[in-house]
Amino acid sequence: MASVGEPLVKIRDLHYSRDKNHIFKGVDVDIARGGVTAVMGPSGTGKTTLLKLIGGQLYPDSGTIHIDGQDVHKMKTSDLYRLRMRMGMLFQSGALLTDISVFENVAYPLREHTPLPESMIRKLVLLKLEAVGLRGARDLMPSELSGGMARRVALARAIALDPGMIMYDEPFTGQDPISMGVLVKLIRSLNDASRLTSIVVSHDVQETAGIADYIYLISDGKVVDQGVPEKMMDSRSEWSRQFMKGLPDGPAAFHYRAPELEQDLMG
């Protein structure tokens, strides 16, 4: 086993386009083993797309993504399937199955991917729900949960198979301050207690910077800045200053590309 801190995921010269729109134009990213790495940037910069590329759901135009030394996009389907079982995913919407209870949602991956008896599945589900503080909510239906509770149940499901890596897609979106604080604490504490490798995709600056070990800032298809949170918050990069401090003016233009107003008005 490699020591904590060495890259678990290596992304090199990644290019990806969709409908002639160049989403990535030569991205290099290292995800450190055992740490929390944040990938940040304005909406629409391809952060969620990057997670899909890491998971092998999408194929790059060029470049490579290696996880634990394996080239994701050259793996056989069966090998990719096994690799995905070592990954957890917290979707932006939570993506709970609405017709089954909290308990059954967390039990679902265990029943699908393991031969464990029901007695063991029950114990594991209760332990995962205890870890996110919702063991007492096991019999509730998703429609009975608040937004923050639903996100925590989704997290319990994401760790059900004890993955080595978890990917978080905008985990703080739509959360009230208390729920957001709970999620921030959970992501950091679960990462450290279970020695996970976490990738957090987000545009929530304060919350993400508070738990990340390292931050990549992506814009216009490239990594425009990177570093530890303290460096990023005090960066000389115009991109970093605008994004990290929420400034309205900077490299990210207020106006979308358009002809001159006078020309447009006059036809």
**What is the reported pLDDT for 103?**
96
**What is the reported pLDDT for 45?**
81
Cα 113 to Cα 160: distance, rounded to the nearest angstrom: 11
Cα 265 to Cα 106: distance, rounded to the nearest angstrom: 56
Over the chain, what is the mean pLDDT? Answer: 87
**What is the reported pLDDT for 173?**
78
Q: Are 83 and 67 in contact (CB under 8 A)?
A: yes
Compute CA distances 145 → 129, 133, 139, 178, 263, whole Å: 14, 13, 11, 15, 52
**What is the reported pLDDT for 255?**
66
Facing residues of 10 across strands?
Answer: 30, 66
Tell me what percent of the residues of the chain surpass a pLDDT of 90: 44
- Bridge pairing between strands 87-90 and 70-71: unpaired
pTM of the predicted structure, to 2 decimals: 0.83
**What is the reported pLDDT for 246?**
75
Write out pLDDT tens, residues 180-208. 888 888 889 889 888 889 999 988 888 88
First vs last C-alpha separation in the chain: 65
Which residues in the chain come in under a pLDDT of 50? 1-4
**What is the reported pLDDT for 2?**
38
Cα 40 to Cα 202: distance, rounded to the nearest angstrom: 5
Cα 217 to Cα 225: distance, rounded to the nearest angstrom: 5
**What is the reported pLDDT for 254?**
62
**What is the reported pLDDT for 1?**
32
